[in-house]
């Protein structure tokens, strides 16, 4: 039995070791999942290339054309009517803009030529066509 005359002192210290462990685990989870979240959810089946090289620049815009003919400008759906105006605005803000074209291998060549025509009209010189290396 407890001795009523003997009082226990209240516990006033906080153990920070479990808190630190939780923070480190959360940081590891975020570090692993962030690259997965940053990748696009738009499915584009790229054609293969034997000489392709990965390229990353500070200011680049990704243009994606899906097999259904949908156009995405930086992962945002764009219509064929507004695409040229949106690209013109981006090019005006940054004349050294680099465009990477991700076109599904099943996209009609006519649609790709139409895109290249728009880039040429806007005098966009930094254009790369994305492929997957074989």
Given pLDDT bands bounded at 50, 70 and 90, which one contains residue 74?
confident
Between the CA of residue 95 and those of 8, 30, 51, 120, 123, what are the distances in Å?
73, 35, 28, 13, 9
What's the domain count of the chain? 1
109 within a domain of the structure (yes/no): yes
Using the predicted structure, report yes or no on whether residue 116 has a pLDDT greater than 60: yes
pLDDT (tens digit per residue) in 43-69: 666 666 666 555 555 578 888 898 888
List the CATH number of the domain containing 91.
3.30.420.270
Residue 91 lies inside a defined structural domain of this protein: yes
- Domain extent, residue 66, equals 48-133
**In the prediction, which pLDDT does 117 show?**
92
3-state secondary structure of 64: strand
pLDDT value, residue 43: 63
Sign of dihedral through CA atoms 27, 41, 73, 77? negative
In a domain, 35, yes or no: no
């Amino acid at each position: 039995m407890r001795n009523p005359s003997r009082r226990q002192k209240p516990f006033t210290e906080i153990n920070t070791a479990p808190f630190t462990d939780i923070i480190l685990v959360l940081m590891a989870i975020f570090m692993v999942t962030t690259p997965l979240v940053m990748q696009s959810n738009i499915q584009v089946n790229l054609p293969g290339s034997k000489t392709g090289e990965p390229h990353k620049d500070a200011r680049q815009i990704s243009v994606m054309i899906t097999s259904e003919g949908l156009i995405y400008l930086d992962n945002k759906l764009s219509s064929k009517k507004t695409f040229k105006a949106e690209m013109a605005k981006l090019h005006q803000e940054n004349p050294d803009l680099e465009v990477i074209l991700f076109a599904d291998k099943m996209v009609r060549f006519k649609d790709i030529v139409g895109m290249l025509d728009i880039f040429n009209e806007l005098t966009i010189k930094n254009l790369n066509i994305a492929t997957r290396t074989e």
